[in-house]
Amino acid sequence: MSHQLLVLPGDGIGAEVMPHVERVLDATGVDLTVKHGLLGGVAIDSEGVALPPETLEKAKASDAILLGAVGGPAWDHLPMMDRPERGLLGLRSELDLFANLRPAILFEPLAHASSLKPELVANLDILIVRELTGGIYFGEPRGVEEADGQRRGFNTYVYAEDEIDRIARVAFDLAQKRNGRVCSVDKANVLEVTRLWREVVDETHADFEDIELSHMYVDNAAMQLVRAPKQFDVIVTGNMFGDILSDVAAMLTGSLGMLPSASLNGSGQGLYEPVHGSAPDIAGQNVANPLATVLSAAMMMRYSLDEMDAADRLERAVQSVLEAGFRTPDIMLDHSNTKLTRVGTDAMADAVIAALRS
């Protein structure tokens, strides 16, 4: 059966990279019915809003959404609520995409791009599962008030049992498709809300006996991520801790142009996008690295479309173009290495397609 895919190229390098990634998708041979939609600045210019109703309708009807990036200086003067980024936030909340997946995969040929020693990170493959729609970023009450003659700021860190259970289930499910280990990160020694987090994760674990579960305090997890990151398989955590830890993990791999992400809802529908933005400084120059979007498409094959073989083939193709020495400028770190070939966006996509076909 054909998978329903909505492609939202967006702005800047998002729009530039996406046609090449669509060529890569074609080369996988997976049966996709592809629709296109407007999101972000391009939607503001043509429809007057960042998330037009037609785009939302198409998104709801699709199995997966592949997004380039949104935003840019042309829309920076707009009020916060009207900016391109609001379109993305709107899409996330309308589709109830509560599980954010941020893998940190380090391809061996790029091990020296990391801020850690190559042997600590070569072939690193961690998946951080972050709760995206709850926790302290959304908890009420919140605000800044006057009290005793001074200002006092406050937020509320709150999670209900069902919110914890559903994100834990996502993490356990994903671990079943990987190496079978989940580490749940909390601060249960200090915060009652995360003590509940730990209890509920333990209860949910009863349904996943094949998965090895461990718990870790967030301060230790931050330390372990930079000390011995390969000890982790899947990390599951709340919104704020996940925000911080996923950026730490991202830096282990060194390059923004290589980082994919996904946001899933309870029915497996997902929004897949590179971690990077629209990079207006390089847009239109054929130098943007398309691999973060290619790897996002690989995640889409694995987590929403159940096309495991295509996901593996896409990731192997990326590995092999890097081994063959193809580098877009952002990952061309060693200019004296004559075995490396500097390529543009189009030629990098061509190389991935050639690798898929070989």
Active site residues: 137, 187, 219, 243, 247
Q: Which stretch binds ligand NAD (CB under 6 A): 21-29, 56-64, 202-210, 277-285?
A: 277-285
Q: Which two tokens stand for residue 1?
A: 């059966």
**Which residues is 260 bridged to in the sheet?**
274
Examine residue 78 and tell whether it contacts ligand NAD (CB under 6 A): no
Which of 51, 128, 236, 279: binder of ligand NAD (CB under 6 A)? 279
Using CB under 6 A as the binding rule, whether residue 71 contacts ligand NAD is answered as: yes
Task: Give whichever of 69 and 311 is closer to ligand NAD, judged by the CB atom.
Answer: 69
Question: From the CB of 262, what's the least distance to ligand NAD, in Å?
Answer: 12
Query: Counting contacts by CB under 6 A, is residue 70 touching ligand NAD?
Result: yes
- Whether 168 and 205 have beta carbons less than 8 Å apart is answered as yes
Q: If binding is defined by CB under 6 A, does position 292 make contact with ligand NAD?
A: yes
What is the token pair recorded at 304? 């929403």
Q: Which of 8, 288, 322, 348 binds ligand NAD (CB under 6 A)?
A: 288
- Give CA torsion, residues 12, 14, 16, 21, to 10 deg: 170
Q: Which is nearer to ligand NAD, 16 or 186 (CB)?
A: 16
Choose the stretch contacting ligand NAD; rule: CB under 6 A; options: 45-53, 161-169, 199-207, 279-287: 279-287
Number of residues that bind ligand NAD (CB under 6 A): 21
Please report how close the Cβ of residue 261 comes to ligand NAD at its closest, in angstroms.
Answer: 8
Residue whose structure tokens are 């309870």: 266
Q: Please tell me the total number of residues recorded for the chain in this structure.
A: 358
72 binds ligand NAD per the rule CB under 6 A: yes
Among 277, 296, 326, 356, interactor with ligand NAD by CB under 6 A: 277
Q: Can you say whether the dihedral through the CA atoms of 316, 317, 320, 325 is positive or negative?
A: negative
Contact of 295 with 260, CB cutoff 8 Å: yes
- Which residues make Cβ contacts (< 8 Å) with residue 109, sequence separation at least 6? 319, 322, 323, 325
Are the C-beta atoms of 340 and 305 separated by less than 8 Å? no
229 forms part of the interface with ligand NAD (CB under 6 A): no
Q: Both tokens of residue 32?
A: 């996709």
Question: Contact at 8 Å (CB) between 125 and 177?
Answer: no
Interface residue with ligand NAD among 28, 62, 289, 320 (CB under 6 A) is 289
Q: How far is the CB of 26 from ligand NAD (least distance, A)?
A: 21
278 contributes a contact to ligand NAD by CB under 6 A: yes
Q: Does 135 bind ligand NAD (CB under 6 A)?
A: no
Contact between 330 and ligand NAD (CB under 6 A)? yes
How many CA atoms lie less than 13 Å away from 349 in the CB half-sphere? 24
Neighbours of 11 (CB within 10 A): 27
Q: Does 320 bind ligand NAD (CB under 6 A)?
A: no
In the complex with ligand NAD, the residue whose CB is nearer, 187 or 276, is: 276
* Coil, strand or helix at 273: strand
CA distance 191 to 136: 12
Residue 179 in tokens: 């190496």
Per CB under 6 A, contacts with ligand NAD among 10-29 are 13
Decide: is 282 part of the binding site for ligand NAD (CB under 6 A): yes
Task: Restricting to residues 232-261, name those near ligand NAD by CB under 6 A.
Answer: 256-257
What does each C-alpha distance from 23 to 66, 214, 349, 357 come to in angstroms?
Answer: 14, 41, 8, 12
Residue 296 touching ligand NAD (CB under 6 A): no
Position of minimal CB gap to ligand NAD: 277
- Report the C-alpha gap between 69 and 221 in whole angstroms: 30
* Residues engaged in binding ligand NAD (CB under 6 A): 13, 69-72, 85, 88, 256-257, 273, 276-282, 288-289, 292, 330
